[in-house]
Structure 1
Amino acid sequence: MGLGRPAHRLRPRRRSARLHDGEISKNVAALVKVRSARKTKRYPWSVEEARQFLEASSAAHDPLYAAYVLILVLGFRRGEVLGLTWENVNLDAGEITVQMQLQRINRRLVHDETKTEASTATLPLPQICVTALQLRLKERELAKQAAGELWTESDFVFTTRYGTPYEPRNFNRLFVARSARAGVRRIRLHDTRHTCGSLLAALDVHPRVAMQILRHSKIAVTMEVYTHVPSESTRRALRKLGKHLGKQDRK
């Protein structure tokens, strides 16, 4: 017989199954089932509530009225509306360019381009937006005259009575206060974006124009929004609001 090693000695040694003190054989954390976080439900304003809010803002000659119109009708974000400059507003052509935003970062107000190229767009202006911005331009000149030497010159569309840009947090507070005075539900400022499509339908904005504003890639998606329209009385009230503003002379 050969003198080779016994077969059992040719097998590799197996690690001992014995555990040292403090060791465990399984990853207990991997056995724990974690429930996925629930999505926060949003309850945006109805078209009727948005109309009530805009009517109240207009009646009070709120200097931020045009900002609220852009947020509700065009879906502007807070940073976009506060960072808007007159350079990006073309009232004659009825267009507005979303390009800049204003944010407070590390205790500094930063006016910079929007985060992504997809956020930058030139949008058509429905008539209610044109009228509101025209009024804003007049109010700006009146504020400049009243402030005199205290006025700070800038190209921002929305400024304080001294021409300085709005603090983002202060803008939120003013929105909440205006909502209370208008007698409508308190909602998050960001949730106003979810009312945009319904308002465009109620304002009789053509679906193709609404498609551009909502930045939909397919008209079918826009038409789904247009199937959910408010009552005819609400539609008439919104049209009346637009006509009233067109003839209104704020002094």
Structure 2
Amino acid sequence: MHDETKTEASTAILPLPEICITAPRVRRKMQEAAKQAAGELWTASDFVFSTRYGTPIEPRNLNRSFADQSVRAGIRRIRPHDTRHTCTSLLAALDVHPRVAMQIFGHRKIAVPMEIHTHVPSEATRKALRRLGKHVGQQDRK
């Protein structure tokens, strides 16, 4: 097992949403095929995502592969780290409490997920402004 993490919170075990479980299962099957093909060159590890020889993927290679997959999927090119911004923005749009988002991402300060990673979607912004307008309108009538 790879045990070098940035912080102690980085080793937290979090439940995966059902939609996220498919990829590791598919990858495990692909890895079994790669293990057979590699034969004696295979390096046993606990990594779900590894090279074709079972070794850890180098960060630069992961970034390149991620970019290639983005292009193939027909979506704009982003870095793996950018997926954190996407996730925090989705959590905010779903009205997940900021403290819960902070815990999910292992931040010590609530400001990090809320100010740095979160981008409130324009629909949420419009909804908030409509609510504000209604509230202010009600105050004018009193």
Name the TM-score class by shorter chain. Answer: 0.5 to 0.7
Q: Choose between structure 1 and 2 for higher RCO, CA contacts under 8 A separated by at least 6 residues.
A: 1
Gaps of 5+ in 2: 124-142
Give per-residue Cα distances to partners, 1:151-194, cap 9 Å, x unaligned: 22222221111212211111111111222222222233322210
Q: Distance in 1 between matches of 2:32 and 2:91?
A: 30
Measured after TM superposition, the shift of residue 127 of structure 1 is: 0.6
Partner SS state of residue 124, structure 1: coil
Q: Which has the higher strand share?
A: 1
Give per-residue Cα distances to partners, 1:194-249, cap 9 Å, x unaligned: 001344578x8x948x925345788xx99xx7x8598xxxxxxxxxxxxxxxxxxx
Note closer, same or farther for the CA distance 1:129–1:200 as it changes in structure 2 (3 Å cut).
farther
Q: Distance in 2 between matches of 1:194 and 1:158?
A: 22
Measured after TM superposition, the shift of residue 115 of structure 1 is: 2.4
Structure 1 segments of 4+ aligned residues over 3 angstroms from their partners: 198-202, 214-218, 227-230
Contact 2:38 2:53 in 1 (8 A): yes
Contact 1:124 1:213 in 2 (8 A): no
TM-score, with structure 2 as normaliser:
0.59
Please state if 1:193 is matched with 2:84: yes
Aligned to 2:16: 125
Gaps of 5+ in 1: 1-84, 86-99, 101-111, 231-251
Q: Which has the higher helix share?
A: 2
Q: Distance in 2 between matches of 1:145 and 1:157?
A: 16
Pair member with larger Rg: 1
Note closer, same or farther for the CA distance 1:125–1:163 as it changes in structure 2 (3 Å cut).
same
Partner SS state of residue 51, structure 2: coil
Q: Percent identity?
A: 64
Contact 1:156 1:165 in 2 (8 A): yes
